[in-house]
């Protein structure tokens, strides 16, 4: 109640409610991965695997791809997730991500997929980026800084959404290296690492446990079982890994970092549930 005895409104309650009391909606049942991009579908299924979520892609369901009219990654992720949720009458999970190159004033940014064209030719898109960098004289590592951004959105048919973002910084290399991953991965070298995303396995790229290791385990963090590509000193020897987030503190890829936030909010209680 307010001071004058009137019932408090939802808007007033939201303005005074402490952040720690914010309740997230958990995911249950089937989940639509709101993309027709096979590479993204594979990555998202890898991320969801430890949580035993039954996921089907928008492409597999034959859902229409909405026009991405947003001005930010978050806007476009929301557009895709809501469209898939309403069309399927199921919760939907969408990602909008891209490469932001400092020397190109943030391009390709939200237009990263468009630079690859309708045939999704990312080798051509990487050639385009390299050409533009050379025109600007950006040939040394300090002139080739870039970062990946991932905005994840969970949406329900009733319009409820949960949104999360992640970012990873790095440098663009040439020529591209590796044939793993997808998109601009072969030319992106994350800070502190010697291999590009295109040279890393999915487990190394995301910095998360592989699907075969779904169950919680206890082992010293940063010990001899660290992945070959793990950054030295990124873990605390005094800590044991017991939770999903603890086992991958911060993740590596932009998508993994956003997904860790999503998992803590909406998925953690489902991990390992058969």
Question: Which are the contacts of 263, defined by CB distance < 8 A and separation ≥ 6?
Answer: 51, 244, 245, 271
Q: Which of 46, 96, 179, 246 is catalytic?
A: 96
Structure tokens at 32: 């639509």
Instruction: Answer yes or no: 96 catalytic.
Output: yes
- Phi then psi for residue 167, to 5 deg, are -145, 145
Cβ–Cβ < 8 Å for 31, 92? yes
Cβ–Cβ < 8 Å for 189, 141? no
Task: Give the whole-angstrom CA distance, residue 113 versus residue 119.
Answer: 10
Q: Max alpha carbon distance in the chain (Å)?
A: 69
- Phi then psi for residue 66, to 5 deg, are -70, 155
Question: Which are the contacts of 188, defined by CB distance < 8 A and separation ≥ 6?
Answer: 99, 146, 148, 170, 171, 172, 173, 196, 197, 198
Task: Give the whole-angstrom CA distance, residue 266 versus residue 244.
Answer: 13
Residues carrying an active site annotation: 96
């Amino acid at each position: 109640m307010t001071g004058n005895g009137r019932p408090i409104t939802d808007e007033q309650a939201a303005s005074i409610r402490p952040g720690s009391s914010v309740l997230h909606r958990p995911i249950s049942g089937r989940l639509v991965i709101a993309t027709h991009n096979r590479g993204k579908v594979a990555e998202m299924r890898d991320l969801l695997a430890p949580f035993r979520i039954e996921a089907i892609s928008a492409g597999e369901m034959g859902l229409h791809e909405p026009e991405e009219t947003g001005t930010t990654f978050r806007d476009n992720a929301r557009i895709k997730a809501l469209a898939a949720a309403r069309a399927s009458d199921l919760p939907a999970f969408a990602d909008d991500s891209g490469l932001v190159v400092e020397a190109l004033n943030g391009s390709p940014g939200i237009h990263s997929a468009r630079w690859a064209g309708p045939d999704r030719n990312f080798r051509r898109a990487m050639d385009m980026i390299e050409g533009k960098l050379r025109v600007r004289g950006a040939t040394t590592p300090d002139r080739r800084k870039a970062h990946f951004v991932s905005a994840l959105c969970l949406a329900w048919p009733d319009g409820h959404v949960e949104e999360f973002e992640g970012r990873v910084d790095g440098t663009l290399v040439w020529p591209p290296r590796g044939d793993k991953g997808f998109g601009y991965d072969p030319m992106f070298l994350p800070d502190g690492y010697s291999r590009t995303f295109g040279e890393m396995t999915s487990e190394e790229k995301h910095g998360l446990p592989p699907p075969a290791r779904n169950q919680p385990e206890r082992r010293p963090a940063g010990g001899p079982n660290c992945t070959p590509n793990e950054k030295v000193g990124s873990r605390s020897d005094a800590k044991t890994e017991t939770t999903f987030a603890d086992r991958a503190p911060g993740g590596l890829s932009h998508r993994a970092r956003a997904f860790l936030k999503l998992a803590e909010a909406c998925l953690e209680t489902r991990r390992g549930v058969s």
